[in-house]
Amino acid sequence: MEKYIGRVLISREDLGKRVAELGAEITRDYAGKKLLILGILKGAVPFMADLIREIKLPLAYDFMILSSYGDSTQSSGVVRILRDLESSVEDVHILIAEDIIDTGLTLKYLRENLRARNPLSVKVITLLDKAARRKADITPDYNGFSIPDEFVVGYGLDFNEKYRNLPYIGVLKQEAHEEEGP
């Protein structure tokens, strides 16, 4: 599997350090507030799991599944909700946990959808921000790392459902796009 990784962009150690910093920020910012962390499946799971352990507050969490990629490395821009929330979000503060913001089209759709459900606030935390590819006016409220316009995998991010289990963020080699892969 690692033969298709061109280089490590963000190490396991750097991920852990930054997630701890983000958890401390969120703990400070949401003290005394009713907080729901909303994870976007599947990619945000490792990030969100580590993040909620670093937030020293009572909180709830839930998940949604959205799709805009399919089997491609390019966002289609057409967003589908494949799994919705299980409960109401009225009168809670929502913090959307994303693995990566690329074009921003999916997140823009989700944010508008959630705001229509009357939460107290909707903010975004992302592990990775790839602003060079942005098509929607979206800026994360909390950002782990700003990255260049390269296709990355690991720590929840995938290519055709592979590489999610890498403990770091790596740049995928071009031949992984051309071949079937491992």
Q: Whose structure tokens read 């890498």?
A: 166
Q: How far apart are CA 69 and CA 96, in angstroms?
A: 19
Q: Whose structure tokens read 């910093």?
A: 21
- Provide the total of helices (H) and of strands (E) in the chain, helices listed first: 4, 9
Task: Based on the residue annotation, tell me whether 102 is a catalytic residue of this protein.
Answer: yes
Backbone angles phi, psi at 178, to 5 degrees: -90, -30
At 123, is the secondary structure helix, strand, or coil?
A: strand
Q: Whose structure tokens read 């796009």?
A: 177
- Where is 129: in which H helix or E strand? strand 121-129
Vertex 121, ends 117 and 124: CA angle to 5°? 105
Vertex 70, ends 68 and 71: CA angle to 5°? 145
Contact in structure between 167 and 11 (CB atoms under 8 Å) = no
| Per annotation, catalytic residue among 91, 102, 129, 137 | 102
Active site residues: 102
